[in-house]
Structure 1
Amino acid sequence: MLNKFVVVDLETTGNNPKKGDKIIQFAAVVIEDGIITESFSSLINPEKSIPAFIEELTGLKDEMVKDAPLFAEIAPRVNALLEGAYFVAHNVLFDLSFLQEELIQAGFEGFYGSVLDTVEMARIIFPTADGYKLTDLAIREDLQHDRPHQADSDAQVTAELFLILVKRLSQLPELTLRQLSQASGGLKSDLQQLMDEIILELDQSNESWQESLEICNMLALKKSPSNSKSTSKPYQVDFKYPIGEEDKIELVTKGFTAYEKRIGQFQMMDGVYQAFKSGMHTLIEAGTGVGKSLGYLLPVAYFAKQNSLPVVVSTHTVQLQEQIIHNEIPLLAKILPFGVKTVLLKGRNHYISLEKFALSLLEENDNYDTTLTKMQILVWLTETETGDRDELNLSSGGNLFWNKIRNEQSVFPINRLWQEKDFYLRAKNEAQNADIIITNHSLLLSNLSAEKSFLPDFDYAIIDEGHHFEKVASQYFGRSLDYLTTRLLLSQFGQSEQRLLFYELELILDELKANKGDLTKNIKINQLAADLSYEMDEFFKLTALYAKSNTAQRLGLNRAKVRFSRDKGGKEKIALVHSAERFAFLLKDLHDAITERLELIKINKESLSSKQKGKLEEIISFNNDLAELRNTVQDCFIKESNDVKWIEIDFRSQQNVTTFYAQPAFVEAGLRERFFSLKKGVVLTSATLTVNHSFDYMIKEIGLSKDTTLTMTITSPFDYKNQVQLLIPEDLPEVNSTSLEDYVIAITEHIITIAEATKGRMLILFTAHDMLKKTYELIKESGFLDDYAMIAQGITSGSRSRLTRNFQRYDKAILLGTSSFWEGVDIPGEDLSCLVIVRLPFSPPDEPLTEAKCQIIKQKGGNAFTEYSLPEAILRFKQGFGRLIRTENDRGIMMVFDKRIITTKYGKAFLQSIPSVPMKKGNIDELVEIIYKWL
């Protein structure tokens, strides 16, 4: 780091200097010889008022800058700082464009030196980071960032981050650095120049990376002897499962410094072991705080070892999979008196093909996203032990590139040089000898189809988060077709002049002299590709038109789910079905034409180069995807089926967000025949499997029989009576007898009053995004909660986990969420003191799957409300309730705004399905008094 770097951050009145937006704060931090030597910052008078949203973002107000210097007054100092330096910023083009404009207006030439962007650097050097905002990266690297969106604080943090990024770069092997440098010509910043200087400065004698990395076929990879977690303790064959409580306590206390005996956890251990021993399918509802992961893993380990059989543990979410492998398995290893081998398995496409990636590095003319993704992966390969794509944070263009390098069935045998390093083969081989295989519901179900079989043969399984199993099965037994995926697939082929897969196919034929001058076929395929692209656009336009003409689009409602039926829909339906038929025929024609060309190549396959083989793999993979796409179109529109079909659409961006779904309404028969009847012992567990203390609903949904299924309820160890107060305001209107606007006005007033009493720390759960959005807007408009951080799903950008982290970061915060926030959100302690449920979580009656299920139940003479709508809503309500108390020391208020919970007969079923807690009704003033006393 012999250079001078000046790290700059600006606050401005807007985004566009050409339209008169101005700088209101300038800050620079100077780095020389690898250390921060100087910093300078100044408020600046923009000679115009600061917009309200900028004031809210930065905390900078008109009165703070009115006596500040004009930019022209500090311009000489700024110009002198930048002389002979790299210009560094987080999102460099933004800061540079403003600075250029102001420097030129002040009579200077502007800055034309080298620039570095810490966003771009972080994406490459931290390929697995959750996000690349400065605040996210500061948390990741444990940097003190007191005042986000104030230039001096941002510049200081950016400078510290930049030093970390350069240090990490300099620790990479020279091979990786040279490959990064070679790829970086197409970046937005001058990172290539910096990397070339780092390469020159490298101390060849100090290659510390050799301890943890190895060079294999011109790729630097992390040394990874194993993808499995295991211990080498001896296994005593006659070791019996510890039935007695003393045995369990002795075992489990080894894993905890301060272990509190959990009777429920011990009950669960015995329940799981007995279920496997007796060969019975079993449902275990384990309340929050039971410690169910260890409750099933310990008996699973004993059972697997005693019987030399693998046991599969399946979860719904990646987070729980990761949590089990990184937290629970090391704990299990610590407490067991014998070694146990655990493997995490995902679908084949989750793993990288090193051979394909190495070949892709030889290609040139990449676009920006592909260049950046290749650089991310080069760095990631020095870190990853799994080769699992879920570790990477890729852009949408990066995901497209991943499809070219993902691991899949290969036409040509994998090169022996790569075989022993192949992540997929390693994971698969380790699974053959594993005691416990951790996977997800989707992969478990895809294993039902023999040709896709990935898991070793197994007879025993744990289905964690079991309340999701039926929904995942419905998706698995169904089909979906969305515009973006379809367009991205077809765009890979291109036309002959576009130098894409079609061009590559013809090139290989020419090189092998297998084309035989057949230009007519070439022209025919070119025309087919053009027709297919046109028909695909036409098909999705007609899909959107059908949706639009069959929905009563409410004002301001942007997203809709519209049921599709071949029996109704008028001319829009006829046009859509005809388009689907044309689309399917064109897909078949193109697939057949490509297959014919591939047959010509097969005759000459002995003379193929490795580069040609790599391209052919891509073309064959594309052709297989075409066949799969045609099957999907036929299943959705042409073949007769009883599936429920519907369209999901966003009217603001019709083509980009249009998806067609076809799913069975009920999956119990499929699950019974293809899964449960073939397995000896399956245990489903979750905190929410019962409705009003009965398992009947869940047993029926997943296709089990009441007579042959064991059930077990393990209550939570939490003292809910003293930890929770349930409050129901009686001064709100009935949710179903008032307009959306009036209901939103009423609940907004209550939310403001409650927030002031709880000092924020509120999670508000909605059942529909339009109500959430209107409530959020009205709260903001009121101005009463301006000093609270308002975080809203679908409005505040970021994933569920990022929004949850932001909520925990502020002292006074309110989090508004829908669907995915009803479960899986874990906010222990005082960060969450109040949970508000805006309305009981019934699915809308016109939601396609709900509507179809209710129709079928009615046709069979049943009661759709009591058999389906009510139990489903109760299970979601229980999930929502579970967000409030996460540890035995938590205390909290739960408010239910929907009065139906006390005014209807069925309301009792909701109350009886959650733990018994004190309930109080009253007007908002009376309830706020209770809140003040309670908290």
Structure 2
Amino acid sequence: MRSEKIAVVDIETTGNSYRRGDRIIQFAVVLIENMSVTETYSSFVNPVQPIPPFITELTGITEQDVADAPDFKMIAPRIQEMLKGAVFVAHNVQFDLPFLNGALRNADLNEFSGPAWDTVELSRALMPEAASFKLGDLTENLLLEHDRPHQADSDALATAELLISLHNKVMNMPLLTVEQLAGQSAFLKSDLDLFFELCIEEKKKNLTDLPDELEVFRGIAIRKKQLVQKSHFKKPEIEIENFISELVPGYQKREAQLQMITDILTAFQTQSHAVIEAGTGVGKTLGLLIPAVIKVNEGKKICITTQTLQQQDQLLETAGKINALLHNSLATAVLKGRSNYIHMMKFEQSLKENDRQYDTVLAKMQLLTWLTETETGDIDELNLSGGSLLYWNRIRHSGWYLDKNQDPWAERDFYSYSLKKAEQADIVITNHAMLAVDKLKDTGTFPRYDHLMIDEAHHLEETCRNQWGIRLDYMKIKFAISRLTGSQEDGISEKLHSILNKHKISCDYFHPESWDRLNQETDASFYQLGLYFKNHVKRQKGFQKQKLLLQGDHSDWKYVKYSFERLLNELKNCLKTLLKQLEAIGKKKTKLTVHEKAAVEDAGALFQEWERLIEIIRTLFIRKHDQYVNWIEGDLRSIPGSLTIVANELDLKDKIQHAFFDDSLPAVAVSATLAVNDSFDHFIQSSGLAGKKLIINKYESPFDYRNHVRLMVPNDLPDIKSVTPEEYVEWITGHLAVIAEATSGRMLVLFTSHEMLRNTYELIKESQQMEDFVLIAQGISAGSRTKLSKNFRKFDKAVLFGTSSFWEGLDIPGEDLSCLVMVRLPFSPPDEPLVKAQWERAKSENRNPFQEVSLPKAVLRFRQGFGRLIRHENDRGIFMVFDRRLLSASYGKAFTDSIPEMKVEEKSLDECIFDIEEWL
């Protein structure tokens, strides 16, 4: 890069807004020329106001640090001089630059008005696979030194090193890719077009050949794909204990793990199914993979399905270590659903569209970078923003409407490549959702296997219910309509119209009035649905998100039905026109350009989506299916936008048995939580395994829970049923604040409802009862579960709020998590539509609905929540349950008996706090 003066700046402040009176407490700048650091400067700044405790906790900067520091006006002239003629660079320049300009204005100096580069934006474009774009995470990822995060001098130097590292990365990228990035960057928020132009200038002076692992095809640089060639080295016979000891440093024999391996092998050899519970610490991953490898040695092919991406990665990583010990003779592949993969023909054409929408532009840049690095084309590798996911929906794989051979990218297609790898693999790792969809549709795309291993099997029924159920929501239909109508040349109808005109194909056209009718009927249908919802839903005070079970038609249901019948008619009319156009283009023997083929593929994917929409509306409003449970869910504050109508089958056991437990293909179901009161009946019944040839076993965790966990129930909490939700939230807020002080944070609070989580979080914020703590909340704080738990571990005084969906797969070992609070026993609400329907069926069959429906599910969730506290053998912690039913209700013993034996301590909150402080 030419001798461009670059000023990398970081500031620490008392808050987020200069206008509202927040001020700088530390300033730092690092000057760069020729991509080398030439000068650094930093200073504490006296803000002439108190530093909030949260800022001190975050930055480590105290009142003493700034007491004798200069105020900003004293150092402002020097800062202005250092910035003169420079490119301004910051990690989140939209914060640092306006804030600094406010301070310069206040010092009666000119604002900085030169070009500015944002390293957050640049990192997003050039490091699309990074899990987080926070400075600390990026520097850790790149192994850059960053000793004092959230202090301006350390952050500025780290940002400078990050910029240099990203520049080096661009210098090693194909010139073609950099030119394409430059073209897109003109529409970013910071002036990164200048950055890329300077990089292009520099690259053109030192042109190099394309690396061997890359190729350019149809104007896009991509990584070459290579099918893994299995070694012909004969796999050695495995002596199980010796093999595990080679794999695991410091291996200590685990009898439970060895017995688990034996049970799985016995099940496979005797054509039986196995149901196994393996507690935390048993070594479930190797307990699955070792018997898989032994069966591979016998010429069998294994499929392992799991629920979470984290467990999928863990299985793949461990399989890689096993493969290294077996001289690379074991082939393992990950297979996901088609929509996880990019459709390259669609992407190629999207690059030619002049779309200036920010999230789309950034997504295109991320994909251009990623294609030079990925071998899989799997979306899960990327960290796309929410807005970028709308663009991804346009270019993701949805199959081929045209003949696959008409796609010039067919030989380089990522989904086809993943299928080939899976066909060649000895072990295929997939997820419950993909396998459930494949089994339902009987597509035959999934490679043949001899044995099935179901990890995290407690999720199986819920995943099948979600995948096999039906959902129709307002936003989905509106989005489908907008894809057809578009804006100007963006709509599929306009693209098809252009193809028909160009090739002089006579056919029916779409008319704007038909789109208007379609939009009007959609709005009218969901307006009627919203009216019905509001008229019949039982409103709970303090809760806006509600669900309404549809049972027995009310007289006003007919208006909803008539509305959707009219909508159905309009959808069918549009679908007919779309089909006629596609057929007319298909019959014409004219050769289409790739751009036109991509438009036809888009239209074909939309056609299939509309067919599904029509079938869903027929199922929900026209046909009567007694086996389905139907309900409406929505937020009373945003109707019709939040409305969704859902239909799920009440009883899935026969379908699950047919899909996963075919007697000709022995299967193993494994989880850390399958049994309720030492009985597997609930899982066996719900999975259709009753009467099957089964091997059943339960392996207890080897951890010393009796001495490492204290289970406490405060006895001064109100009975949940005796107070309103608002009053209960007030009670627990006060308790949480006191417990957080005693544990110095390091606390995970588990809620059964997101509404209660949000209300508690907002009350804590409003009351400032925990202003010294960093509060991280699922669904409120930005980021995935992994990102939130990682942020939680960063701070000494942090509290993490999550719902039941958050409990799964959360792994926070050691002192990072010392206290787990369960706000209430995790029963599903009795008016939850599915639960209500299951209760009514149980009653009609003279069964006990509480004992057979609600209690087993709640106990399993309780066990899963408890399992978050102790992850390793030396962990210690407090498990506090804010629900006295654990001790007072007759069914409370079902919960305490489901976890390792320990004393349940019932005492006042003050006594609990005293014990916590002493014990921790």
2:772 is matched with 787
**Shift of residue 115 of structure 1?**
1.9
In 2, the alpha carbon distance for the partners of 1:767 and 1:387 equals 36
Residue by residue over 1:826-846, the C-alpha shift from the partner in whole angstroms, topping out at 9 and shown as x without a partner, is: 111121222222211111101
Between 100-109 and 735-744, report the one with greater CA deviation.
Answer: 100-109
State the partner residue of 1:353: 343
Identity of aligned residues (%): 42
Specify the alignment match of 1:485 in structure 2.
476
The answer to whether the Cα contact below 8 Å between 2:631 and 2:645 also exists between their aligned partners in 1 is yes
Alignment-derived partner of residue 654 in structure 2: 669
Alignment-derived partner of residue 514 in structure 2:
528
User: Which of 340, 345, 353 is equivalent to 1:363?
Assistant: 353
Residue 592 (structure 1) aligned with residue 593 (structure 2): no
**Distance of aligned partners of 1:229 and 1:760 in 2 relative to their CA distance in 1, 3 Å threshold:** farther
Deviation (angstroms), 1:563 = 2.3
Q: Which amino acid aligns with 1:250?
A: N
Normalised by the size of structure 1, how large is the TM-score? 0.91
Q: 2:642 aligns with which of 645, 652, 657?
A: 657
Partner Cα separation in structure 1 for residue 883 and residue 99 of structure 2: 51
Give the whole-Å Cα distance in 2 for the aligned partners of 1:218 and 1:672: 49
Q: 2:652, 2:766 → 1: CA distance?
A: 46
| 1:304 is aligned to 2:296 | yes
Aligned equivalent of 2:277, options 261, 285, 306 = 285
| Whole-angstrom CA distance in 2 between matches of 1:446 and 1:578 | 32
- Tell me the C-alpha RMSD between the 2 structures: 3.0
- The answer for the alignment partner of 1:513 in structure 2 is 504
Paired position in structure 2 for 1:613: 597
Deviation (angstroms), 1:312: 1.1
Unaligned 5+ runs, structure 1: none
Aligned amino acid, residue 700 of structure 1: Q
1:719 and 2:704 aligned: yes
The DSSP-based 3-state class of the residue aligned with 2:749 is strand
Q: Structure 1 residues 889, 54: closer, same or farther in 2, change over 3 A?
A: closer
Contact 2:525 2:560 in 1 (8 A): yes
706 and 256 in structure 1: CA distance in 2 versus 1, 3 angstrom threshold: same
User: Structure 1 residues 707 and 676, CA, compared in 2 at 3 Å: closer, same or farther?
Assistant: closer
Distance in 1, matches of 2:20 and 2:734, equals 40
Q: Flag the 1:531–1:113 CA change in 2: closer, same or farther, 3 A.
A: same
Question: Do 2:749 and 2:800's aligned partners in 1 also have CA atoms closer than 8 Å?
Answer: yes
Q: Distance in 1 between matches of 2:480 and 2:182?
A: 30
Distance 1:263 1:161 in 2: 48
Aligned counterparts of 1:362 and 1:829: Cα–Cα separation in 2: 51
* CA distance in 1 between partners of 2:530 and 2:146 (Å): 46
Deviations 1:285-319 (A, max 9, x none): 1111111111111112222331x332211011122
How far apart, CA to CA, are the structure 2 residues paired with 1:160 and 1:338?
38
1:314 aligns with 2:305: yes
In structure 1, give the amino acid aligned to 2:247: G
1:877 shift after superposition: 0.8
1:791 to 1:877, Cα distance in 2 relative to 1, 3 A: same
Equivalent in the alignment of 1:399 = 389
Match runs of 1:12-411 below 5 Å: 26-41=27-42, 74-100=75-101, 103=104, 110-143=111-144, 151-202=152-203, 207=208, 210-226=211-227, 233-235=233-235, 239=237, 247-306=239-298, 308-325=299-316, 327-336=317-326, 339-410=329-400, 411=402
Question: CA contact under 8 A between 1:251 and 1:336: conserved in structure 2?
Answer: no
Equivalence for 2:534:
548
2-structure distance, mates of 1:839, 1:4: 59
Name which of structure 1's ranges 675-684 and 117-126 shifts more when overlaid on structure 2: 675-684
In structure 2, stretches of 5+ residues that fail to align are none
Q: Which segment is superposed worse, 486-495 or 426-435?
A: 486-495
Instruction: Check the 8 A contact 2:53/2:772 in 1, yes or no.
Output: no
My pick for the range that moved more, 276-285 or 144-153, is: 144-153
Return the alpha-carbon distance in structure 1 between the equivalents of residues 725 and 669 of structure 2: 39
AA aligned to 2:242 is E
Displacement after TM superposition at 1:462 (Å): 0.7
Distance 2:677 2:539 in 1: 37
| 2:483 aligned with 1:476 | no
Q: Is the 8 A contact 1:587 1:627 kept in 2?
A: no
| Aligned-pair CA distance for 1:489 | 2.4
d(CA) in 2 for partners of 1:63, 1:890: 37
1:732-769 CA deviation, whole Å, 9 max, x = no partner?
A: 33333333344344444443443333333222222123
Determine helix, strand or coil for the equivalent of 1:210: coil
CA distance in 2, matches of 1:133, 1:229: 39
- Give the counterpart letter for 2:330 in structure 1: V
**What displacement does 1:527 show?**
1.8
Give matches, 1:850-861, under 5 Å.
850-861=835-846
SS in 2 for 1:285: strand
Partner of 2:906: 921
Look up the SS of the partner of 2:493 in the other structure: helix
Aligned equivalents of 1:10 and 1:768: distance in 2?
A: 39
Contact 1:230 1:342 in 2 (8 A): no
Closer/same/farther in 2, CA of residues 55 and 810 from structure 1, 3 Å limit:
closer
| Offset from partner CA, 1:256-277 (integer Å, 9 cap, x none) | 2211111111111111111111
Q: Aligned in 2, Cα 1:660/1:201: closer, same or farther, shift over 3 Å?
A: same
Match of 1:445 in 2: 436
Quick one: structure 1 residues 617 and 49, their matched pair in 2 at CA, closer, same or farther if it must change by over 3 Å? same
Say which SS state the counterpart of residue 900 (structure 2) adopts: coil
| 1:107 to partner: Cα distance | 5.8
For the structure 1 residues 786 and 54, does the alpha-carbon distance in structure 2 shift closer, same or farther, using more than 3 Å as the test? Answer: closer
Of residues 442, 463, 474, the one that matches 2:454 is 463
- Aligned residue for 2:897, secondary structure, equals helix
Of residues 475-484 and 735-744 in structure 1, the stretch that sits farther from structure 2 once superposed is 735-744
Query: In 1, are the aligned partners of 2:746 and 2:796 still within 8 Å (CA)?
Result: yes
> 2:728 aligned to 719, 737, 743, which one?
743
Cα deviation code 1:701-726 (max 9, x no counterpart): 11111453331111222222232232
- Once the two structures are superposed, residues 212-250 of structure 1 have per-residue CA deviations (whole angstroms, 9 ceiling, x without a partner) of 433333322224423x696653136xx5xx6xxxx3211
Residue 886 of structure 1 and its aligned partner are, at CA, apart by 1.0
The one-letter amino acid of 1:234's match is: K
Q: Is the 8 A contact 2:336 2:431 kept in 1?
A: yes
Distance 2:749 2:18 in 1: 39
Distance 1:603 1:412 in 2: 13
Distance (whole Å) between structure 1 residues aligned to residue 306 and residue 839 of structure 2: 28
> How far off its partner does 1:376 sit?
0.6
Specify the code of the residue in structure 2 equivalent to 1:375: M
Equivalent-residue separation in structure 2 for 1:229 and 1:636 (angstroms):
49
**Aligned AA for 1:716?**
S
2:703 & 2:546 partners in 1: Cα distance? 40
Deviations 1:2-24 (A, max 9, x none): 21111233456776667887666
Is the 1:8–1:89 Cα contact (8 Å) retained in structure 2?
yes
Q: Secondary structure at the match of 2:874?
A: coil
Relative to structure 1, is the Cα distance of residues 94 and 328 closer, same or farther in structure 2, using a 3 angstrom cutoff? same
For residue 330 of structure 1, report the CA deviation from its aligned partner.
1.5
Q: Identify the residue that residue 756 of structure 1 maps to in structure 2.
A: 741
SS at match of 2:718: coil
Q: Is the 8 A contact 2:54 2:771 kept in 1?
A: no
Q: CA deviation at 1:637?
A: 2.1
- What are the superposed Cα offsets for residues 301-343 of structure 1, whole Å, 9 maximum, x if unpaired? 222331x332211011122112211x21122224458822211
Map residues 886-897 of structure 1 onto 2, 5 A cutoff.
886-897=871-882
Secondary structure in 2 matching 1:38 = strand
Query: Residues 554 and 69 of structure 1: is their aligned pair in 2 closer, same or farther, counting only changes over 3 Å?
Result: farther
The CA distance in 1 between the partners of 2:52 and 2:235, in whole Å, is: 70
Q: Is the 8 A contact 1:495 1:529 kept in 2?
A: no
